[in-house]
Structure 1
Amino acid sequence: MTAIKHALQRDIFTPNDERLLGIVNVCKAGKKKKNCFLCATVTTERPVQVKVVKVKKSDKGDFYKRQVAWELRDLTMVDAKDANKENPEFDLHFEKVYKWVASSTAEKNSFISCIWKLNQRYLRKKVEFVNVSSQLLEELPKAEESVPSGESQSVTGGDEDSLDDYQELNAREEQDIESMMEVCEYAISNAEAFAEKLASELQVLDGANIHSIMASEKQVNILMQLLDEALAEVDTIEGKLSSYEEMLQSVKDQMDQISQSNRLIQLSNTNNMRLLEEIDFLVNYMDLSKGHIRALQDGDLSSPKGIEACINASEALLQCMNVALRPGHDRLMAVKQQHQLFAELRDHFARRLTNHLNNVFVHQGHDQTSSLTQHAAELTLPKHNPLHRDLLRYAKLMEWLKVTQWEKYEGLMATYVEYMARLYEREIKDFFEVAKLKMVGTSKEGKKFGLHGSSGKLTGSTSSLNKLAVQTSNSRRSQSSSLLDMGNMSASDLDVADRTKFDKIFEQVLSELEPLCLAEQDFISKFFKLQHVPTGEGHEVDGNLPSRQVAAGEHRHSMSSDKEVVRHMMNKIFQSIEIELNNLIALGDKMDSFHSLYMLVKMSHHVWTAENVDPASYLSTTLGNVLVTVKRNFDKCISTQIKQMEEVKISKKTKVGILPFVTGFEEFAELAETIFRSAERRGDLDKAYVKLIKAVYFNVEKVANESQKTPRDVVMMENFHHIFSTLSRLKISCLEAERREAKQKYTEHLQAYVINSLGQPLEKLNHFFEGVEARVAQGVREEEVGYQLAFNKQELRKVIKEYPGKEVKKGLDNLYKKVDKHLCEDENLLQVVWHSMQDEFICQYKHFQGLIDRCYPGSGITMDFTIQDILEYFSSIAQSH
């Protein structure tokens, strides 16, 4: 290895100004025959570059050549494979991973140690060493052999040690050394003589420094003498300053006396100013003008000007009472007297205001008797905008009362709710009575059954309404549908116009109730100042209020928020709305259960609208509760229809035709699609569709199985064809799968009916060829069937003679009549079935003729009629009927 190192250093690295520091003999993993050397080198010039060089012998083996070189800074990882066991394998991770196998583990460890040392010395980015023992990384690489270039230090060890003591010269030191070497000509040729000359010059310089120090002693003595003179001058100046200080002491005493006198004068002036400020504060903030006092005592609460004066006076009084007094003010007699005056004015005005508003509320509840005579034609509710407009003038006074006298404010709220509840109850009751009259019929017809009164009061019973509804609808166009026959009255007598009328009336009722409730809720919030959640601090007037009153006010308002108070008031005022709505819904459902579809759509829309305005409002809550009832009626309507399907009985003497609940489903779907075209509750209808169509399918099959007069396939074919046509026409997306199923069932049962019916015109021929096919199936060759006794040519001719053309046509004619009896006229499937039978008959003919050709070859036997004859038979029979 030493000879190799000398050769590599001499031939490859010295010409490139590089030094060889580490070497290892390796081969690639899996290719042990091709050996090469990995060399760790550094450049002799600065900046130092560290490389890993791959060296390989030439093909002739005479010299070495440099093959690949990698920069050490590109090395990311060294993997020694195993830190505990001897293993010659190791990996170097450059841009790609190079896997090597060293000739010995010792060479591998020496090379890895050299790489680690070079990495620690020259690179900022540290290479990751994996599976390498820590002991190996702590030791420097051991020198094996000296560099062949004649250097005194080893490649891997000595040279690295010399690098530890090396200290780089700075630029100035290099310049000085170069200058000295230029002066001395033999500095390079004779280094020892140059060093001796430098030592002698250093001794001369040291002597000069000593002489210079000794020559400066005289100057030091002169400097010490000057310092002594300066100290004497300082002592003189200190004596003069002491005399000046004694002179100023007397002046200081006189100034202190003057300053004390000035402080006393300033303190007196400050006290006078503060006293004046306190008096101004009390006069300015605790004095109520005579005009305000007159307004609070005798102000007119009926006129706009008087109300405005009372508002200004009450606000001024509240400001005076809420003044934040400074410590000690409450002990002044004048302040106590003012507080007593303010309390008396507050209580007196609160009583006047409460009595006046109580009278207004009572008058409104008793005097405004709302009759719906003028509103009966258009079915509208009286508007309370004038009352709200007049009362809102007192809103600020109500806010003042809420802050100062909570008991009286609470009493006014109770009085308002009591009398307005009476007023609204009369109006709403009359409004709903008129709505019911309009739903069931004209007023003349209503009077016959106890529907009379100037206000449209309904005195008759529910059964009277039912009788009236039946009478008024008997004159209209009748629609026969067992699906609509529900309740105590026959809804089948109600046409589309009846339902449209009901829909308009129900929408009108909801449209009138919605603005009425919103207007009243808005008024209550503004008039009673319930927009924000009150706090206990907002009701404390001043420190002189009775503590029990303040505590009671805080306790009451901490119990509920303003929204809850508004909702509680609305519930009491409009407590009859939910009851009347439920009664109206019950009446509509009694008249026609299909009304629940209209009501579900309308009610859902109004609930959605109310929730967008205020999800927690009275209107939203009430309509939501009523919507639950409407949804329940809708579900009951669907359940009733399903129950009616299950109870359908089919006459044994007549043909079935299109089942009544199938046409009923069609009518229901047509109506529902019209009603739910743009409704928010489309999902409810889709769920109902799925339930209904499943029940329809189940009961169609049930009736088909029980049918005696009409074949099962005919019942299934006709009804599923009708269902398929209905679903295709209406294009109900949620029933697309059911539409395909209906088509499939219709097609299957059409084919089954055609096949079963066609066995009758050529019954014996069918039996004969079935026997032929059975023999073939048993293993008899087709050409040998004719040798079977029961299926020889003579038997075949005998069977064919029984079916001449005239007989076939006669049989087909009888078949047409039988099919005509089976099928109903409403579905118009006769021609479809007849055409399918024609195709099936031709297929059978071709099948029979094919069997003859294969099983009786060369016999010349043919049917007595041709395909053209068959087409003519079917056509003439269809035209003759």
Structure 2
Amino acid sequence: MAKSSADDEELRRACEAAIEGTKQKIALSIRVAKSHGIWGKSGKLGRHMAKPRVLALSTKSKGQRTKAFLRVLKYSTGGVLEPAKLYKVKHLSKVEVIANDPSGCSFTLGFDNLRSQSVTPPQWTMRNIDDRNRLLFCILNICKDVLVRLPKVVGIDVVEMALWAKENTPTIPKQTNLQDGVPVAATVTESDLKVIVERELVSQAEEEDMEALLGNYLMGIGEAEAFSESLKRELLALEAANVHAILESEPLIEEVLLGLEAATNCVDDMDEWLGIFNLKLRHMREDIESIETRNNKLEMQSVNNVSLIEELDKLLERLRVPSEHATSLTAGSFDEAHMLQNIEACEWLTGALRGLQVPNLDPSYANMRAVKEKCTELEKLKTMFVRRASEFLRNYFASLVDFMISDKSYFSQRGQLKRPDHADLRYKCRTYARLLQHLKSLDKNCLGPLRKAYCSSLSLLLRREAREFANELRASTKASRNPTVWLEASAGSSQSSHNADTSSVSEAYAKMLTIFIPLLVDESSFFAHFMCFEVPALVPPGSVANGNKDGNANDEDDDDDLGIMDIDENDGKAGKNSADLAALNESLQDLLDGIQEDFYAVVDWAYKIDPLRCISMHGITERYLSGQKADAAGFVRLLLGDLESKISMQFSRFVDEACHQIERNERNVRQMGVLSYIPRFATLATCMEQYIPGQSRDLVDHAYTKFVSIMFVTLERIAQTDPKYADVFLLENYAAFQNSLYDLANVVPTLAKYYHQASEAYEQACTRHISMIIFYQFEKLFQFARKIEDLMYTITPEEIPFQLGLSKMDLRKMLKSSLSGVDKSISAMYKRLQKNLTSEELLPSLWDKCKKEFLDKYENFAQLVAKIYPNESIPSVSEMRELLASM
């Protein structure tokens, strides 16, 4: 017989290694085959294929209790055993040997704690009947010892199991197995496989009874079938005895049935009574619900009545017009003492009108007759109050201005410049600022006539102040008048009048701007906020417009805009309404239009005294213009822009007149020497530079461009009238231009550009004039050289001496006529250069240029002679240089 795997020590150690750490001991380990197929039926190959597994019975002691487990172990990829499933033996309920298996080696184990009992349990197949009996016998012994109960055994004869256990009780020596080709001796200890009678399924006494019984039956029966038939007959006899016992207990059963019938009658009576009580309770519940419904309706009606009374009281409170507010709105005075009551009445009226509008009033109230009548009444109150307030304010503005105009002490007088002071005017107007805010909220259209009335009244005051101030400013300013014939040739050499100090003129203009520009800006700002335009503030309270050079301008009331910005909480949205900005600029046009005439008068007066003061006034105006950036001061920017244009136009007229004076020099028949307007332009430019304030150069640079362009064009035209002396005339005048403007050209980029232009023209004129003098004196010499140069382009140098007029004999004749008495020729050249020059200071530089030019030409001639006529001798260049140096 083959050795059983239950005796394999290696298998036992592998199982112990697999469950290491669980504190369990292996009682039995045996190899089995696992399958899910059913004997005699076909199935899927993969599902029913047998898989090798190892079943191991293990125990674990915990105190006096012992737990038993059935472990299923499988082989991993590397052939190592690893745990697959774990069953608790206490849940084992059934052991069934498969009847379809002819060998009897297959069985199933049923557990009562499996989640799905519908799934077919796995089938375990042993190698032989001994292995099967050994495993099942070990399972049953453990159940008996540990659980004191046995699972149900199906398909196995208990007597057969007992006989097998008795035969296999002794220790079974194990056959030596070959492991890896090496014989291994293995023995099974008695404790492993010994079946003790006390631990067997059948006790010793039972076993003796069974043996006696089997002995009796075996005496007369030789086959198991006969024995089974006798057992069946005994079973039928026992069942018949049980039926007889039951029939004997019939009186007891009848007594029990009578008791059950009496109990049934009592239950029926109870059910009838419960039905009656249920019907009465249902009627009572319906009555209670009806009472609660009526009670709830009455309670809801009471609550609604209370809420309705409260809502009507609130509505009546809204519709009530307080008598004190009605009096103020219809017939109240607008004196300063009564303004608080008027403001409170306006606030109440605004709130009342807003409260009767649909968003603030429930829409269901809007169609009520009382609400409509009250809205009509409030509209009448609003119309009446707005009309009365508007009429009062129009008269009030006119009376304020008339009072100030009638008092001459408000304006500048003879010998006294009076700075306009509107602090008292603004203080009185601010009294009604909040009233204007409320008028705007009540009727926005009423502000148009009020703004026009304010502008027309205040415009008279501003124009009167500007006119009186400008007249007195001109009268008190002392300055000598400068002539405007700066560049006229007939003006002579006297320039004493140009040195007269006229700075007081530009100072007077600056003072006019210093006083009135901040005033106009403040008036624009005050008007914008006082008349409720939604525009940003022009300047912060207390600040003065940029460009203000007069420290006294800070005496302006710093509180002009206080108290106005806080009237309306919506001022944070100022500046977003472009329509308001357009309306403001239109109103400012009405307010300030006409005042520019007095500024123009000051500009005209300053121009007549000294046209060059336009430069200073232009710079002052530019500085003020750059400081005006607020949209609400649009008219002030327009005024400054018009002044800038006026000043530019006046200065352009001066420049045009001066250019006309320059062009008049062209009419003279004979011009010699330096023209008179060149040194005068240098004087004019020096004065203009002194008048430029800061970095404002555009006006002056534009004038320089016109002046110099006309000067150079005129100079060229005059030079063309006498071509013989044109170069001498040009070089003298260009040199004078450079000498007179040398210092200014170093600091003025525009003049530097024309300085370099004059320098180039001077060099060109010098070159032409010197070449003319040299050729006049040495014409034959340099014409001979020019012929040689012309022929060198077409023939070789060796052929040139054989050309007509260029032979060696011709060369000697030319040298004799040109270079004999060369010192006298050079002296004649110097005298000719000196003869036509009127500016003696230019002679040394021109003579040096002349000698250098002559030496360059002669050196070129000497090189040609050495190349064409190598055997001919002429005076060397060094000799000629020494001769020129000695002259």
| TM-score, normalization by structure 2 | 0.55
Q: Residues of 2 paired with 1:830 and 1:703: CA distance? A: 22
Equivalent pair of 1:473/1:493 in contact (CA under 8 Å):
no
Give the CA deviation at 1:200.
9.3
1:181–1:374: structure 2 CA closer, same or farther, 3 Å change rule?
closer
Measured on the aligned residues, the alpha-carbon RMSD in Å equals: 5.5
2:774 equivalent to 1:742: no
Per the alignment, in what secondary structure is the counterpart of residue 530 of structure 1? coil
1:343-383 C-alpha deviation (Å, 9 max, x unpaired)? 45973685267336514523423543456864676866512
2:451 equivalent to 1:413: yes
Give the CA deviation at 1:571.
1.3
Of 387, 397, 411, 2:435 maps to 397
Residue matched to 1:792: 812
1:371–1:767: structure 2 CA closer, same or farther, 3 Å change rule?
farther
Give the CA deviation at 1:384.
1.4
1:496–1:381: structure 2 CA closer, same or farther, 3 Å change rule?
farther
Residue matched to 2:885: 871
Residue matched to 1:701: 716
Give the CA deviation at 1:420.
1.8
| TM-score, normalization by structure 1 | 0.55
Q: How does 1:64-143 map to 2 (within 5 A)?
A: none
Equivalent pair of 2:455/2:591 in contact (CA under 8 Å):
yes
Give the CA deviation at 1:239.
11
Equivalent pair of 1:311/1:396 in contact (CA under 8 Å):
yes
Q: Residues of 2 paired with 1:433 and 1:851: CA distance? A: 83
2:588 equivalent to 1:570: yes
Give the CA deviation at 1:387.
0.3
2:514 equivalent to 1:508: no
Per the alignment, in what secondary structure is the counterpart of residue 561 of structure 1? helix
Q: Residues of 2 paired with 1:382 and 1:172: CA distance? A: 121
Residue matched to 2:784: 771
1:317–1:383: structure 2 CA closer, same or farther, 3 Å change rule?
same
1:8-58 C-alpha deviation (Å, 9 max, x unpaired)? xxxxxxxxxxxxxxxxxxxxxxxxxxxxxxxxxxxxxxxxxxxxxxxxxxx
Residue matched to 1:354: 391
Per the alignment, in what secondary structure is the counterpart of residue 666 of structure 2? coil
Residue matched to 2:487: 481
1:862–1:203: structure 2 CA closer, same or farther, 3 Å change rule?
closer
Q: How does 1:167-182 map to 2 (within 5 A)?
A: 178=75
2:463 equivalent to 1:425: yes
Per the alignment, in what secondary structure is the counterpart of residue 529 of structure 1? coil
Larger radius of gyration, structure 1 or 2?
2
2:768 equivalent to 1:752: yes
Q: Residues of 2 paired with 1:269 and 1:383: CA distance? A: 68
My pick for the range that moved more, 647-656 or 733-742, is 733-742
2:531 equivalent to 1:528: yes
- Residue 288 of structure 1 aligns with an amino acid whose one-letter code is P
Q: Residues of 2 paired with 1:183 and 1:317: CA distance? A: 101
Of 340, 346, 350, 1:318 maps to 350
Give the CA deviation at 1:644.
4.9
1:378–1:655: structure 2 CA closer, same or farther, 3 Å change rule?
farther
Residue matched to 1:648: 665
Equivalent pair of 2:534/2:580 in contact (CA under 8 Å):
yes
Q: Residues of 1 paired with 2:442 and 2:526: CA distance? A: 22
2:312 equivalent to 1:278: yes
Give the CA deviation at 1:395.
0.5
1:405-458 C-alpha deviation (Å, 9 max, x unpaired)? 56765443333222222222222233333455467x57xxxxxxxxxxxxxxxx
Q: Residues of 2 paired with 1:658 and 1:172: CA distance? A: 133
Residue matched to 1:12: none
1:702-738 C-alpha deviation (Å, 9 max, x unpaired)? 2222246843254146326625973772444467665
Q: Residues of 1 paired with 2:693 and 2:782: CA distance? A: 58
Q: Residues of 2 paired with 1:388 and 1:808: CA distance? A: 93
Equivalent pair of 2:673/2:732 in contact (CA under 8 Å):
no
Give the CA deviation at 1:841.
4.6
Equivalent pair of 1:638/1:688 in contact (CA under 8 Å):
yes
2:306 equivalent to 1:306: no
Q: Residues of 2 paired with 1:498 and 1:830: CA distance? A: 39
Q: Residues of 2 paired with 1:494 and 1:817: CA distance? A: 37
1:377–1:743: structure 2 CA closer, same or farther, 3 Å change rule?
farther
Equivalent pair of 2:615/2:699 in contact (CA under 8 Å):
no
1:308–1:845: structure 2 CA closer, same or farther, 3 Å change rule?
same
Per the alignment, in what secondary structure is the counterpart of residue 495 of structure 1? helix
Give the CA deviation at 1:250.
0.9
Q: Residues of 2 paired with 1:856 and 1:429: CA distance? A: 94
Equivalent pair of 2:486/2:684 in contact (CA under 8 Å):
no
Residue matched to 2:831: 814
- Residue 427 of structure 1 aligns with an amino acid whose one-letter code is E
- Residue 571 of structure 1 aligns with an amino acid whose one-letter code is Q
1:593-620 C-alpha deviation (Å, 9 max, x unpaired)? 545544443333333322x222772212
2:734 equivalent to 1:719: yes
Give the CA deviation at 1:655.
0.9
Q: Residues of 2 paired with 1:390 and 1:668: CA distance? A: 54
1:614–1:380: structure 2 CA closer, same or farther, 3 Å change rule?
farther
Residue matched to 1:455: none
Per the alignment, in what secondary structure is the counterpart of residue 368 of structure 1? helix
1:245–1:745: structure 2 CA closer, same or farther, 3 Å change rule?
farther
2:405 equivalent to 1:368: yes
2:647 equivalent to 1:613: no
Equivalent pair of 1:299/1:307 in contact (CA under 8 Å):
no
Unaligned stretches of 5+ residues in structure 2: 1-45, 55-71, 82-99, 111-116, 122-151, 154-266, 537-576, 792-796
Q: Residues of 1 paired with 2:374 and 2:877: CA distance? A: 134
Unaligned stretches of 5+ residues in structure 1: 1-165, 185-197, 217-233, 443-471, 534-558, 874-881
Identity between Structure 1 and Structure 2 (%): 15
- Residue 635 of structure 2 aligns with an amino acid whose one-letter code is Y
Of 276, 296, 299, 1:265 maps to 299
1:389–1:206: structure 2 CA closer, same or farther, 3 Å change rule?
same
Give the CA deviation at 1:585.
4.2
Q: How does 1:465-476 map to 2 (within 5 A)?
A: 472-473=480-481
Give the CA deviation at 1:529.
1.4
Q: Residues of 2 paired with 1:262 and 1:639: CA distance? A: 104
- Residue 814 of structure 1 aligns with an amino acid whose one-letter code is K
Q: Residues of 2 paired with 1:200 and 1:833: CA distance? A: 148
Equivalent pair of 1:605/1:679 in contact (CA under 8 Å):
no
Equivalent pair of 1:704/1:712 in contact (CA under 8 Å):
yes
2:745 equivalent to 1:729: yes
- Residue 741 of structure 2 aligns with an amino acid whose one-letter code is T
Give the CA deviation at 1:388.
1.0
1:237–1:844: structure 2 CA closer, same or farther, 3 Å change rule?
farther
Residue matched to 1:251: 285
1:364–1:210: structure 2 CA closer, same or farther, 3 Å change rule?
closer
1:315-368 C-alpha deviation (Å, 9 max, x unpaired)? 234333443255458857699589748945973685267336514523423543
1:495–1:384: structure 2 CA closer, same or farther, 3 Å change rule?
farther
2:849 equivalent to 1:833: no
Q: Residues of 2 paired with 1:641 and 1:479: CA distance? A: 7
Q: Residues of 1 paired with 2:413 and 2:103: CA distance? A: 133
- Residue 751 of structure 1 aligns with an amino acid whose one-letter code is T
Residue matched to 1:96: none
1:831–1:799: structure 2 CA closer, same or farther, 3 Å change rule?
closer
1:306–1:816: structure 2 CA closer, same or farther, 3 Å change rule?
same
Q: Residues of 1 paired with 2:657 and 2:274: CA distance? A: 127
Give the CA deviation at 1:684.
6.3
Of 515, 521, 528, 1:518 maps to 521
What is the aligned length?
Answer: 601
Per the alignment, in what secondary structure is the counterpart of residue 473 of structure 1? coil
- Residue 439 of structure 2 aligns with an amino acid whose one-letter code is L
Q: Residues of 1 paired with 2:606 and 2:292: CA distance? A: 104
